[in-house]
Amino acid sequence: MQIISQYMQQNHRECDELFVHVEASASDGNWADTASHFESFNKLLEQHLNMEEQVLFPAFETETGHTQGPTAVMRMEHEQIRGLIAELKTCYENQDSQRFLGLSESLMMLIQQHNMKEEQMLYPMTDQALSDTAAVLADMQALGEA
């Protein structure tokens, strides 16, 4: 069963769809919409990153005994993503559309590359390694709803 993979991939797609609205409104110069779309996107993304950092990665690390392996790299990439998000926020506050769109392109690519690694390797590995995937999924969902 690929419970974790399916759930997390779906979560990635939802983040992507929200981000598309952020880019589209910034491209149209509609900063009020950009701000509201950005907040929704950031909320969902942060929720996703937290589910991984607080539930999925620790469960995987406990099960495999690897704390400096793939999960350490994913945590580092989460920080890169958060850094870019903070920069994008400054851009829309200053209504700097040129820099915003340049940075959003980078964020899109960075997130996609990160997602690819998770979807192709890390999630299938967690599905395989975790003894109780249903419990881990329930914990992640609980965190998401909190």
Which residues contact another protein by CB under 8 A?
16-17, 19-20, 23-24, 27, 63-64, 66, 69-70, 73-74, 76-77, 80, 83, 87, 98-99, 101-103, 105-106, 108-110, 112-113, 115-117, 120-122, 125, 128-129
Q: Phi-psi category of 23—alpha, beta or left, where left has phi over 0 and alpha has psi -120 to 50?
A: alpha
Q: How far is 64 from 36, CA to CA, in rounded Å? A: 40
Q: State the minimum distance, in angstroms, from the CB of residue 63 to another protein.
A: 7
Closer of 42 and 104 to another protein (Cβ) = 104
Q: Distance between terminal CA atoms of the chain?
A: 26
Closer of 24 and 142 to another protein (Cβ) = 24
Q: State the minimum distance, in angstroms, from the CB of residue 60 to another protein.
A: 9
CA distances, 146 to each of 7, 44, 58, 133, 140 (Å): 17, 12, 19, 20, 10
Number of CB atoms found within 10 A of residue 129's CB:
15
Q: State the minimum distance, in angstroms, from the CB of residue 86 to another protein.
A: 9
State the residue for tokens 């851009």.
91
Q: State the minimum distance, in angstroms, from the CB of residue 85 to another protein.
A: 12
Q: State the minimum distance, in angstroms, from the CB of residue 142 to another protein.
A: 25
State the residue for tokens 């915003």.
100
Closer of 17 and 132 to another protein (Cβ) = 17
Q: Are the C-beta atoms of residues 115 and 12 closer than 8 Å to each other?
A: yes
Closer of 15 and 140 to another protein (Cβ) = 15
